[in-house]
Amino acid sequence: KVLVGTQNIEDDPRNWIRLGAYLSTNLPKGKDYQLPSLDNVVQKELALGWGLASYQFQRFKTNKNETSRSSLVVDKDLSSKLESEIAAVSFSRDLVNTPSNELRPSHLSAIAEDLAKQYGLTCNVIIGDDLLTKNFPMIHAVGKGSDDAPRLIELRGGSGKNKVTIVGKAVCFDTGGYDIKPSNGMRNMKKDMGGGALSLGLTKWLCEEKLDISFRVLIPAVENRISDKAFLPGDIIKTRLGKFVEIDNTDAEGRLVLCDALAAASEEDTDMIIDFATLTGACRVALGPDMPGFFTGNDSWANDLQALSFECKDPVWRLPLWRPYFNMLKSGPADLVNSASSGFAGAITAALYLKEFVKDASKWMHFDTYCWSDDSKPGTPQGADTQALRAVFSFLEKKFRS
Ligand code: BES
Ligand code: ZN
Ligand code: ZN
């Protein structure tokens, strides 16, 4: 028997998850452990942490760390649910951790095609100049500076009655373009495809856990680079929806690729559009690394989601679509600019920009998330993280469990 003592479990609502992870790595190896009878939530969180602790990103280690693991024996229902949860989180983490030389737009579309094969989804990819003929001019404009062609990845699956559209920003590397980032700001920008990674992780999870959903996934995948072909500050580009956008800042590229994808998402009848994006530094200044900001025109979804996110210990926090700030996106020569004149409320002005391209904001939720953990905690090693993924799944599960 193992007797465990803890302190300050209230300091961080995730401490049961952390404790599970800690036990899994620190108890004597090669044994099967069982939990005593515990509150269901505590049991689930300990087991989740236990499972998450097995994640390691070792693709680029010559000597792989083959630690023998101990198992935690839990009942079958819980273990099968946790397995799909942990697999989804690990899949997203691997994508974000993979460096940009090995995860270019072409790699990402190949991975989406593999996922489609594995789960019997349909996959369609629009590449390079076809983006122009199929009317995705913004995705093309942002990605044309790279020799790995920009693309829009589309997946469809599920046969349930509720239609959910998932959109993810996948900027496989964000140099900032000609509005180049300083080196410390650029250092981690392999993770700027985190929105796409969360979308694919959620897709995998939805394929494993049958909900009453049919889903459509749209992932614009590009590299934001500097080259003789790259787009420039001051360029004016007509979007899919027809609005003209003046490029004030080539580093505000996420909203550009998303605006064409969101317009396409809105063209089909759908009950819900969810987008994930590592969109603004401003959202991190406001809420820090742990807590994605989210925006929606649907108060009831917002309340449910916010409560569920705290229950499942993947907290998200609603920020307002405060219309008066839309003024900050005025353009002289065009309909709007992509980057606000003031640095204030940067997460909100980015969300207001996106809202222009969504048909019905009461069916839309936008997540501005970090996708990274700067330090190592039990169960969350330094590197890729999946903030908002578990919260959104829990919301969909509650609404659409068949
Ligand atoms: N990918 C970045 C946002 C980002 C930076 C997210 C760091 C998380 C951590 C995005 O493309 C960007 O550069 N946004 C700019 C927008 C600005 C130019 C209006 C930002 O946040 O500074
Ligand atoms: Zn940027
Ligand atoms: Zn970016």
pLDDT digits (tens, 9 = 90+) for 199-249: 999 999 999 998 999 999 999 999 999 999 999 999 999 999 999 999 999
* Any atom of ligand 1 within 6 Å of the Cβ of 368: no
Residue 369, token pair as written in the block: 């998330």
Please tell me the residue having the least CA distance from ligand 1 atom 8: 281
Q: What is the predicted pLDDT for the residue at 340?
A: 95
181 included as an active-site residue: yes
Judge contact between 241 and 265, C-beta under 8 A.
no
Give yes or no for residue 251 CB within 6 A of ligand 1: yes
Phi, psi of 281 (to 5 degrees): -65, -30
pLDDT digits (tens, 9 = 90+) for 238-268: 999 999 999 999 999 999 999 999 999 999 9
**Mean pLDDT across 138-163:** 98
Distance CA 140, CA 176 (A): 16
pLDDT of residue 10: 73
Q: Which ligand is nearest to the CA of 341?
A: 1
Catalytic residue, chosen from 255, 313, 363, 399, is 255
Q: Can you give the pLDDT at residue 6? A: 79
Q: Which amino acid is at 82?
A: L
Candidate list 134, 181, 359, 398, residue with the active-site label? 181
Give 317-359 pLDDT, tens digit per residue. 999 999 999 999 999 999 999 999 899 999 999 999 999 999 9
Mutate to test the pocket of ligand 1, among 280, 373, 385 (most ligand atoms within 8 A of CB): 280
The tokens of 103 are what? 């995860």
* Ligand 1 pocket, residue 246 CB under 6 Å: no
Task: Please tell me the least confidently modeled range out of 6-10, 26-30, 161-165, 247-251.
Answer: 6-10
What number of other Cβ atoms are within 10 A of residue 317's Cβ? Answer: 16
Per-position DSSP letters for 162-228, written without gaps between them:
EEEEEEE-EEEEE--TTSPPPHHHHTTGGGGGHHHHHHHHHHHHHHHS-BSEEEEEEEEEEEE--ST
pLDDT at 11: 86
| Cα angle value 114/217/313 (rounded, 5°) | 95
Q: What is the mean pLDDT of residues 49-65?
A: 95
Give, to the nearest 10 degrees, the angle between helix 346-355 and helix 254-267.
Answer: 30
Burial label, 78 (beta-carbon count in 10 A; 0-12, 13-18, 19+): middle
Contact 106, 219 (CB under 8 A): no
Range in 65-74, 129-138, 156-165, 293-302 with the lowest mean pLDDT: 65-74
pLDDT band (50, 70, 90) for residue 135: very high
258 contacts: CB under 8 Å, gap ≥ 6 = 167, 169, 220, 275, 277, 279, 354, 357
Please give the average per-residue pLDDT across 4-24, as a whole number: 88
Select from 256, 246, 302, 307 the least CA-distant residue to 277: 256
Q: Which residues are in the CB-under-5-Å shell of ion ligand 3? A: 171, 174, 192, 254
Atom of ligand 1 nearest to the CA of 189: 1
pLDDT of residue 63: 94
